[in-house]
A and B are shown apart, each in its own frame.
Chain A
């Protein structure tokens, strides 16, 4: 009855004997917002790197849309319309804000091998790009160099570039980290709107945001799945509470 878009079987990533991801079975339902949470170093980002093929798993399999994609190239994954964002803000620093989005649109609409025309002539794309920038509130800074933005605004730009790809599956790694309070709300709002008609896998430390967005939550700890379910189930699970408290203990 449930339609699984992304699935992993016994996914394991070992860095010199240390299993950062350890036998994870994950199933992301089509059309849902699925959150991946867990204490620092739990292996969430490593999971993302595996799912987007930035890393090749030590063992285990990954299926996207029913197809085994375990050995695929990262760019091919993106061409299957699975687009990620990064935990550390990831933009094209020397290009303008507008050009950042244009480069993404260009990939989607084709024409990236055009070398004889001036890139300024891409008017139709420019309109679409401005629309996306408005969505994240960056329309006034469109002509600024991207590296001049504040950290939170860079994250917003990254989100706009991700949305420009019109992805069917979005993987967002802590999209609100480094944002001010207002931006967090605005971004959460934006993600929940963008999630319509899409599937989203999100890593997020901000639990209210998770509670608001996620249909289903997987808790990761030391590379393993600790618990899974909706927010209610997970937040009342004693092992989850213990994992978080235990981590707090370590930190202080």
Chain B
């Protein structure tokens, strides 16, 4: 049999084919993301569910209406595209001109809603979609068998991608699109309806995602989660390619598919991670992305600022709040399950640590579950397998998060704004894959029955009240430390950078150093929260590293009020309370969380405590 580098040729070609197929999906999705971002400056987090919708709509067309694949290729993208038009008109339009992160959060909320609804009706298991008869079969080309459908997917995606590229780069329409971004006033004066152009562009981007979904239906099982991983990979592709260039998105998409396919042939265990590793390499070597241009600082100079209402910091109020917190901590176990209170404390700390970054440094990390999770796993492993004392295991877990924070921070802070969010999400997904693969994490089971042990050889933590005291003390000390940091000279610099990065630079501040410090501090406390959680529940599981946890902590912060210090604590209580007491609603909880996201972004950006703070004109 013919071999190449020790791999039988048919296998190599087979993986190459799979790689090209995946590449076709990566290319189509990142193309859609790039088009939408190019014009609307929104990272469309709903892209994954819109891809899923494409597959589902074509499945429904077939099963409910008897409409076949050929028509679905046209009708499904149209239907989903129109839903995109409505979404843009009704929701996205309202946040036009606000900070980019709101677009990301809003579409994330929409994604949760749609996904929750589909999970309710169709469960997580997949529906099958048969390959249409006219595309079944294949050709034997000697070295291998080529299934016709796969060839079709690659060919039609390439055609659609190149067609889109041509329409945007080589026609009048494309120059309008570019103009609408740079100089909307001039374009309007030519009689072009710019808002309509924005809406249509969003529809086209969404339609592309749905089109990919239709193509995917016969290959993968049609299920509500089918877009999750793909979306995160598309984000990684976008970070690798840089979003400035439409052609770049297409080329990078196909290239990454091929890289992944070849890796599967040579080092199968790396194949899921390889795109993320390429992303890390690109961040190290050319942070702007292969086809990207440097984002220059002058864009920051005239960056729009939401009008801010600032209240004074009252002298003693915060002291009283801390005192009240202590009283609450003492009283709480008499009214609530101590275990539930400890869960609240872990998540409260997690949210506060996260807000150190989002609220006080202006950085949206979408990968904080990685720090929470790695600390949780290393705590569990070192307590259970190495037999470390609880204090030792807490230190190991927390330090691991700090170290990971240093590495991820160093990589991701090379990119600003929205790229930062995507890079952190992709990096955390790498940790998730590692957690799934590495034997020590126990895979789906996680690490169970982690011993609580005896603290300092004196306090037996198997006693729930002793454990409670420990968790409460660590919680308070950490919250106070974060509070101190925020109100320290360093915290002032972080605030200044958040307020006006260009000015901070012009005063000689090397912005990334301060942001990296905040990132590491935030990761450290997030890790401490994760380790505590593993201590309390005697369990470390994959849910601790999953991106949906990162989404949850964002929700807590947003809901509580990201402009405040104490808000995330309230947010954590509300979100966990919701999950706890609405358990009977099943998947509808996801839908409710999505709704809360959408409402917060649209009309309630100050959050619960932020609104209160404005009412009483004091900082909280």
Residues of A at the B interface (CB closer than 8 Å) are 49, 52, 54-55, 73-75, 78-79, 83-86, 88, 90-96, 99, 102-104, 106-107, 111-120, 122, 143, 145, 147-148, 161, 165
Contacts and interface: CB of A to CB of B under 8 A. Distances in A.
A137 B502 CA distance: 25
B94 interface: no
A194 to B, nearest CB: 16
A127 to B, nearest CB: 16
Contact of A147 (B298, B310, B488): B310
29 contacts: A54-B298, A54-B502, A54-B505, A55-B296, A75-B505, A75-B510, A78-B508, A78-B509, A79-B508, A83-B506, A83-B507, A86-B502, A91-B503, A92-B495, A107-B508, A112-B490, A112-B493, A112-B514, A113-B489, A114-B490, A115-B484, A115-B488, A115-B489, A116-B485, A119-B492, A143-B312, A145-B311, A147-B310, A161-B503
B517 interface: yes
A113 B517 CA distance: 9
B168 interface: no
A86 B508 contact: no
B489 A114 contact: yes
Contact of A74 (B297, B305, B308): B297
B114 to A, nearest CB: 35
B489 A119 contact: yes
Given A54-B296, A115-B488, A117-B489, A95 B506 contact: no
Contact of A165 (B311, B490, B507): B507
A119 B508 contact: no
A78 B507 contact: yes
Interface in B490-528: 490-493, 495-496, 499-500, 502-511, 514, 517, 521
A73 B510 contact: yes
A118 B499 contact: no
A115 B490 contact: yes
Interface string B298-317: 10011001011011100000
A55 B301 CA distance: 12
A88 B506 contact: no
B34 to A, nearest CB: 19
The B interface is mostly helix, strand or loop, or mixed, namely: helix
B525 to A, nearest CB: 13
Contacts of B510: 73, 75
B493 A103 contact: yes
Interface in B207-239: none
Contacts of A145: 308, 310-312
A107 B490 CA distance: 10
A74 B506 CA distance: 7
Given A52-B506, A75-B510, A145-B310, A106 B301 contact: no
A116 to B, nearest CB: 7
A147 B308 contact: yes
A128 B297 CA distance: 30
Nearest to B508: A78
B491 A84 contact: no
A30 B505 CA distance: 24
B487 interface: yes
Contact of B488 (A49, A54, A114, A165): A114
B308 A88 contact: no
Given A111-B489, A115-B490, A161-B503, 11 more contacts: A75-B510, A79-B508, A90-B500, A90-B502, A95-B495, A95-B496, A99-B492, A103-B507, A112-B509, A115-B484, A118-B487
B386 to A, nearest CB: 32
Nearest 8 interchain pairs by C-beta: A78-B508, A145-B310, A92-B499, A115-B490, A90-B503, A79-B508, A115-B488, A75-B510
B301 A54 contact: yes
Given A54-B296, A90-B502, A93-B499, A107 B484 contact: no
A74 to B, nearest CB: 5
A99 B496 CA distance: 9
A96 B619 CA distance: 13
A86 B301 contact: yes
Contacts of B502: 54, 86, 90
B302 A88 contact: yes
A47 to B, nearest CB: 13
A78 B489 contact: no
B489 A75 contact: no
Contact of A92 (B296, B489, B500): B500
A112 B491 CA distance: 9
A116 B301 CA distance: 31
A148 B504 CA distance: 20
A93 B310 CA distance: 9
A55 B305 CA distance: 22
B298 A119 contact: no
Nearest to A77: B508
Contacts of A55: 296, 298
Contact of A75 (B305, B311, B485, B511): B511
Contacts of B505: 54, 74-75, 78
Contacts of B514: 112
A88 B490 CA distance: 26
B312 A119 contact: no
B492 A49 contact: no
Interface string B276-310: 00000000000000000000111001100101101
B496 A103 contact: yes
Contacts of A117: 488-489
B492 A106 contact: yes
A94 B562 CA distance: 14
Nearest to A87: B301
A120 B511 CA distance: 22
B499 A115 contact: no
Given A83-B507, A88-B302, A102-B492, A118 B500 contact: no
B181 to A, nearest CB: 13
Contact of A91 (B298, B485, B492, B500): B500
B523 to A, nearest CB: 15
Nearest to A90: B503
B465 to A, nearest CB: 32
A61 to B, nearest CB: 19
A99 B487 CA distance: 12
Contact of A95 (B298, B490, B499): B499
Name the residue among B308, B506, B510, B517 with the largest chain A CB count within 10 angstroms.
B506
A206 to B, nearest CB: 22
Contacts of A78: 505-509
Contacts of A107: 493, 507-509
Given A90-B502, A145-B310, A147-B307, A165 B508 contact: yes
A94 B308 contact: yes
A4 B298 CA distance: 27
Contacts of B307: 147
B360 to A, nearest CB: 11
A102 B495 CA distance: 12
B275 to A, nearest CB: 31
B174 to A, nearest CB: 15
Contacts of A116: 484-485, 488
Contact of B493 (A84, A94, A106, A122): A106
A104 B517 contact: no
A246 to B, nearest CB: 22
A86 B506 contact: yes
A183 to B, nearest CB: 21
A104 B307 CA distance: 23
B509 A93 contact: no
Nearest to A114: B489
Given A78-B507, A116-B484, A103 B308 contact: no
